[in-house]
Every structure is written in C-alpha cells, then in structure tokens.
A and B are shown apart, each in its own frame.
Chain A
C-alpha cells in the first residue's frame, strides 16, 4: 500500500522531541532514557478515575520530568460480560445489550447487530426502513461527535464549546425520544426493521433539527478552528507513523486524519448508504488538530446525508414482511388467530436462525464496528463477538504517548474519542 512520505516522519518527530529535552542534554553518560537508573524516573498512575480519561481507564505513565517515556493503558474496569450475556438471550433480546456497548453510538450498534442477524436469516429490509436507519445513525454520529468535541475542548480549557455542544445534543436526544420513547438507550433498530412506526411529525422535527445543527457546527468552528490557543495545544502532537497505526488496529477518523481514505459506509456499503452522496474527509497532518478537522467535516457530511434522507425518504412499510421473525401488528393480533399464535411463539420461544456465522462491518462514529454472530441453529446466538473501534484505537495509545509532554497527553487522549464501555464490553 502507498504510504505518504510525510506520514513516516511521525516517529522522527517523537525522537527529536526526546533529544531536545533538557534532561537528555544534561545527562553526560548518554544512556538512553529507558535504561537510566530508576531514581531519575517517576511512575504516575493516571486513572482509573481521572476526569480526562472519559471513563474508567487507567494509564501507567513513566515520566522523566514532564516527558512521558512509556505509557501503558490498563483496561477492563468496565467489563460487564455483555458477550457472555448475549449467549443466554434470544436473538431479539440482544438488541438492548448492544445499546449499552457504546452508549454514545447506540443506534450504530443496534444496526450492526441487526444487519448480521438479517444476513444469517437472509431477510430483505424494505427501503423506507433502510433510509430511516441511515438517517438515525447519522444523527447518532452527530450526537457522538458533539460529545467528543465538548469533552475534548473542555479538557483543553475551552468551556463554552462544551455548553454549545450539549445544547445541540439535547435536541438530537429529543428527536430520539420522539421516535422511540427513550433518549439514549433507544433500541430503535431491530432485526427486520424498526421497533415502532416513525411518529407523526418526525419529518418536521428532523428538518428543524438539521438546520439548527448546521448553524451549530459553524458556531463551534468560529470558536475553535482559528483560535490560537486551540492551535497551539493541538497542532503537531499525537502523531504516529501511518503503517504502525494500521498494524495496531486504529480505524475511523484517526486513520482518516492520517490520510487513509477508508470508511465502511463507502467501502462495504450496507443499508442503502450507496444511494447517498457524501464525501469521506481526510487530512494528512496526522496530529490532534487534523483529527479535529476530520470530525468537524464528518459532522457536515452527516448533516448532508440527513438532508438527503429527508428529501428522498421512500414510501412503504417500515419493517420486513416476515411473520416468523417480527411481532405481528397489534391490530391483527386482536382479530386473527394466526397472528396471536405467532406472537405467543415469538415471545416465548424466539425465532431460530440457520446455522452459520457472519462478520458484519459498519462504520461507527469511532471507526470500524463489527459484529461476529455465530449461530448453531437455535434461538440463542452461540457467540456474539463485538469488534469495537475503541478497543483497537486504544491499543495505539501507548505508542502515541511516547515522548509527549504530560499536559499534551490529555489532548491526545481526547482526540482518540474512546468510550470505555466500548473498550471493555
């Protein structure tokens, strides 16, 4: 694969930072920092309750003065055994668990799991349901990026942005509540379509929301994009050679800020994403600022997708015609014996899924989200594995923090946008 030459300078940058450091110059023996006597070095325990780690992450930092020589992330504090629990649930009962994996991008998780099971069932999803899914997933992406921007800016000291972002995010959550009755754990995307019929007046509510979001994004950019403090804190830090990033499993906006134009929405299209016009923003600087630029541009592209969904929303049913998988209409249940039997069977026994396995890849706001669902032919999944983007991205944290000043580590961590629920599952 072609790797831009500029990217390869990342490691050199880390080395030069180290060389310029005054402690390095003072040391007459010329012993490399990691091999010096331990009395010169200090181990600092960051987390698991450190506010800037956005969850229970512990990072063991080895410091020489203020320079990080070695960083070791320790995870698992939020491990709740979701994958194990999936195995004792029926296929449709897994949906609420997927909400709780990445709680800032719950609909993307619903979608990825549903797509995997639908592939095993060979279910055809009607266009309206697919477009609705796309629209809601893009709104989730916007909500998730707003939280990232809010907390990332707050970490670096820009408090106003935090309030602006949460103001707009609340509006998105109101729309989710309108659709599903829940603000955050919506479980709105189900196997075979959606959970409920889209509510009356959704079109107007979403149109007003996107207009507001488009204005909001301009406001955040006005506050940050050319702000000298923001530029000083974010430019030229957190770089890593791009081939190392790929090997360590980094995906999503971080990889796109390193010049790799890869997005599962374009490269493994699903749910009618190929019918929408949007661009995959990339940058080549590969630093914290480039990640900021990429995510801001992604928000604009998401607004664009939602607008297209509003304009071209197809008519028709909002879920698949599959009696053996989906609960019957309330109306039919009260008038038809057969529908009542299906309802009883589905609720008590669930539905069987043919033997096989599927690895379904989608693009979550954080990167490559994939569900590996293995079926043994019963009504419970034999194994559900979640390839979560935060886990892969966090693996690069150690390498990314080497040679960085401790104050900058906060900016670097913020730019990674990990969710610890997504890491630990």
Chain B
C-alpha cells in the first residue's frame, strides 16, 4: 500500500501496481518525492520506468555513505524523462557487504556511473561488463568516499613524504 504522500504520483502508482513489494519507503524532499526501492527489484523497476513511464535517460547514479548507521549505503538513481519533462529519484539501501544488480542492461549510460560508485564507495554491481576503478589508480587501496576513509588518505599523506 502506497503512503498518502505519493498517492497522486503516476510513477509510484505504476511501480506499485506491477511490483507491490518494490517500494519500501517514500520521502518527500524539497524537489519532489523520493522512492526507496528494495535491492532485489531495482532492475525490474528501472525497466518498467524506462519502458512504460518514459524515463529514457539515466541522469546519474551515485552513492551516499551513512556510516556508522546501518544499513550503511544508499545507491541513488536520478531518472530523467525528456518526453514528459519529469525527474524521479530512486534510492536503494544497502548493507556493508551487500551487492546490487547493475542497471547497465536498462541504460548503457549507467556504466561509468556504477564504476565510479564501485571505485569510491566499494559497492559491487553484479553483471556489470567492466567493473574496474575509474577515478583512482587500479592498484589503489580503499574507497575514498567512505566516511571511515580519512580525508588526507591512508597512505599517501603529505606527512609521510
């Protein structure tokens, strides 16, 4: 059952009709509603939104680390519909050692964004064609955007040189 705050939202209703278990939580932020999706349903939900709700574009994918809170990570998907001139934000909450299915099968453009999240947060995307580091060197240790990673790095701080 959808919460009242998004009862008029056609996208949320479309998801709820097709996948009743997919929306686990809803928040209303200053720029619109945010749908929290169950990790197992994300690819199916994205495919539905692309095919029947007109979201041709994935604007970006990013992560947020809420350490030491649990579940630790959020993976955020910013969807954009050119034909409807609408935007939608999906969030998936993930525990520290959990992985998530890649959405590159839905939007090819997710490729680099997911690599970036993998590189900087250490979140693994299953079935990604080329899940390698993109910003940091290939032999880098640690994931810089995690909250327990020091701002000046573990290894290469100025004090060591």
Q: Give A contacts to B, CB under 8 Å.
A: 1, 75-76, 79, 81, 83-85, 87-88, 119-120, 122, 243-244, 246-249, 260, 262, 267-268, 356-361, 368, 370, 372, 374, 382-383, 385, 387, 391-392, 395, 424-425
CB pair A395 B112 closer than 8 Å: yes
CB pair B109 A85 closer than 8 Å: no
Q: Say yes or no: A75-B59 contact (C-beta < 8 A), given A357-B34, A391-B112.
A: no
CB pair A1 B54 closer than 8 Å: yes
Q: Look across to chain A and name the residue whose beta carbon is closest to the beta carbon of B147.
A: A87
CB pair B135 A357 closer than 8 Å: no
* B10 within 8 Å of A (CB atoms): no
Task: Give chain B nearest CB distance to A149 CB in angstroms.
Answer: 27
User: A-B pairs with the 4 shortest C-beta distances?
Assistant: A249-B109, A387-B60, A79-B135, A385-B62
Report which of A248, A267, A361, A385 forms a contact with B109, defined as CB distance below 8 A. Answer: A248
**Chain B count of residues within 8 A CB distance of the other chain:** 36
* B128 within 8 Å of A (CB atoms): no
Stretch at the interface among B11-19, B41-49, B83-91, B92-100: B83-91
* B53 within 8 Å of A (CB atoms): no
Task: Give chain A nearest CB distance to B115 CB in angstroms.
Answer: 10
Give the complex CA separation of A267 and B59 in angstroms. 15
CB pair B56 A1 closer than 8 Å: yes
Q: Say yes or no: A247-B56 contact (C-beta < 8 A), given A372-B78, A395-B109, A424-B135.
A: yes
CB pair A260 B82 closer than 8 Å: yes
CB pair B30 A120 closer than 8 Å: yes
Contacts of B54 in A (CB 8 A): 1
CB pair B64 A84 closer than 8 Å: no
Contacts of B113 in A (CB 8 A): 249
Q: List 30 A-B residue pairs with CB atoms under 8 Å apart, sorted by A's residue number.
A: A1-B54, A1-B82, A1-B83, A76-B133, A76-B137, A81-B144, A81-B151, A83-B120, A83-B145, A87-B151, A88-B151, A247-B58, A247-B107, A249-B60, A260-B82, A262-B82, A267-B85, A356-B30, A360-B31, A370-B59, A370-B78, A372-B60, A372-B62, A383-B64, A383-B65, A385-B76, A387-B59, A392-B60, A395-B111, A395-B112
Give the complex CA separation of A356 and B54 in angstroms. 27
Give the complex CA separation of A368 and B58 in angstroms. 12
CB pair A84 B151 closer than 8 Å: yes
* B70 within 8 Å of A (CB atoms): no
Task: Give chain A nearest CB distance to B5 CB in angstroms.
Answer: 14
Give the complex CA separation of A387 and B135 in angstroms. 15
Contacts of A358 in B (CB 8 A): 29-31
Interface residues of A: mostly helix, strand, loop or mixed?
A: mixed
Contacts of A260 in B (CB 8 A): 82
Q: Look across to chain B and name the residue whose beta carbon is closest to the beta carbon of A382.
A: B64
Contacts of A391 in B (CB 8 A): 112
Contacts of A75 in B (CB 8 A): 134-135
Contacts of A372 in B (CB 8 A): 60, 62, 76, 78
Give the complex CA separation of A360 and B78 in angstroms. 11
Task: Give chain B nearest CB distance to A314 CB in angstroms.
Answer: 25
Give the complex CA separation of A158 and B87 in angstroms. 41
Near A by CB (< 8 A), chain B positions 102-161 give 107-109, 111-113, 120, 133-137, 144-145, 149, 151
| Most central of B57, B59, B89 by chain A CB within 10 Å | B57
CB pair B30 A374 closer than 8 Å: no
CB pair B89 A359 closer than 8 Å: yes
Contacts of A248 in B (CB 8 A): 108-109
Q: Say yes or no: A247-B145 contact (C-beta < 8 A), given A79-B136, A387-B60.
A: no
Give the complex CA separation of A356 and B91 in angstroms. 13
Q: Look across to chain A and name the residue whose beta carbon is closest to the beta carbon of B138.
A: A76
Contacts of A247 in B (CB 8 A): 56-58, 107-109
Q: Look across to chain A and name the residue whose beta carbon is closest to the beta carbon of B64.
A: A383
Task: Give chain A nearest CB distance to B25 CB in angstroms.
Answer: 14
Contacts of A395 in B (CB 8 A): 109, 111-112
Q: Say yes or no: A359-B135 contact (C-beta < 8 A), given A119-B31, A247-B56, A249-B57.
A: no
Task: Give chain B nearest CB distance to A104 CB in angstroms.
Answer: 21
Q: Look across to chain A and name the residue whose beta carbon is closest to the beta carbon of B89.
A: A359
Contacts of A76 in B (CB 8 A): 133-137
Give the complex CA separation of A260 and B80 in angstroms. 14
Given contacts A1-B54, A248-B108, 9 further A-B contacts (CB under 8 A): A75-B134, A76-B135, A88-B151, A120-B30, A247-B58, A249-B113, A268-B87, A356-B29, A425-B135
